[in-house]
Amino acid sequence: MSLATSTRKPRASRASGKTLQKGQQTKAAIVDAALGLATQIGLEGLSIGALAEVMQMSKSGVFAHFGSREELQISVVREYHTRFEDEVFYPAMAAPRGLPRLRAMFDNWMKRTSAEIDSGCIYIGGAVEFDDRPGPVRDALASSVSTWLAAMRRAIEQGKTEGHLKAETDAHQMAFEVHALILALHYEARFLREPGSLERAVRAFESIIGRYALPDAEPATNGVKAKRKNKT
């Protein structure tokens, strides 16, 4: 067997591959720890030193995986966005186009929001920290949020095409209203600690749907609402 047709890797290459894989795993672990810290102290609170202490690594070891604090912050934003998509967006794609998919998006979003009441939301916290600070971190945050809102607007447009929503429905306006109630939920539940905030958010969503949906549209199938029914 010639070297040209051999599938066996040279020893140096196999070692390099293992080193690369280990490096990627270490970086993923650092990002995971950084995300946990950021939900508590914000993106601005992140530092190479704090992460090195949490990871029980040297500062130079952590720095070698990112090169700068800014790159670390961007990595955290990207990881948060990936998890948001995995928990909220992609599962909703299994629902039929239009209003059922929009409801699934909201349902998944509510589940994630419920879990974040005690920890915090990178999108909301990051917006407060970087709203007036141009740069790559702000750009990464804005891009992630814009991508999600665009997906929600597509679901609304599909709702019009499928005959679930009124033809004159303004997708930007409807998405704005849904986004606004999620922001209000975070403020009431996390900051003011108001009881019943989740239930009010669900009712607000149904009110929005009621104003835009056609009379013969799909009935409410929101998972949060279903759970409340099961308790009664």
As a three-state string, the secondary structure of 4-19 is CCCCCCCHHHHHHHHH
Whether residue 150 is contained in a domain is answered as: yes
54: tokens are 């949490």
Residue 191 lies in domain? 69-219
- Rounded Cα distance between 157 and 164, Å, is 10
Read off the pLDDT band of 115 (50, 70, 90). Answer: confident
Which domain CATH number covers 137? 1.10.357.10
Q: How far is CA 149 from CA 67, 93, 173, 177, 231, in A?
A: 31, 15, 11, 11, 32
Query: Which helix (H) or strand (E) is 131 found in, with range?
Result: none
pLDDT value, residue 110: 93
Strands, E assignment, 55-121: none
Mean pLDDT of the 219-231 span: 43
Task: Tell me how crowded residue 54 is: count the other CB atoms within 10 A of its CB.
Answer: 14
Whether residue 226 is contained in a domain is answered as: no
Contact 21, 104 (CB under 8 A): no
pLDDT value, residue 225: 43
Write out pLDDT tens, residues 139-198. 999 999 999 999 999 999 999 999 999 999 999 999 999 999 999 999 999 899 999 999
Which of 8-12, 21-25, 181-185, 199-203 is predicted with the least confidence, judged by mean pLDDT?
A: 8-12
**How many independent structural domains does the chain possess?**
1
136: tokens are 């790559």
Whether residue 189 is contained in a domain is answered as: yes
> Quick check: 78 pLDDT over 90?
yes
Contact 171, 157 (CB under 8 A): yes
pTM: 0.81
pLDDT value, residue 100: 96
Buried b (16+ CB within 10 A) or exposed e, 81-92: beebeeebbeeb
> Quick check: 232 pLDDT over 90?
no
Give which of 209, 90, 213 is closest to 160, Cα–Cα: 213
Read off the pLDDT band of 20 (50, 70, 90). Answer: low
Whether residue 30 is contained in a domain is answered as: no
The vertex-98 CA angle with 97 and 104, nearest 5°, equals: 85
Tokens 């750009």, residue located:
139
Whether residue 192 is contained in a domain is answered as: yes
Higher pLDDT: 125 or 230? It is 125
Contact 163, 214 (CB under 8 A): yes
> Quick check: 9 pLDDT over 80?
no
> Quick check: 223 pLDDT over 80?
no
Whether residue 47 is contained in a domain is answered as: no
Whether residue 102 is contained in a domain is answered as: yes
- Rounded Cα distance between 2 and 70, Å, is 48
Higher pLDDT: 212 or 19? It is 212
Whether residue 46 is contained in a domain is answered as: no
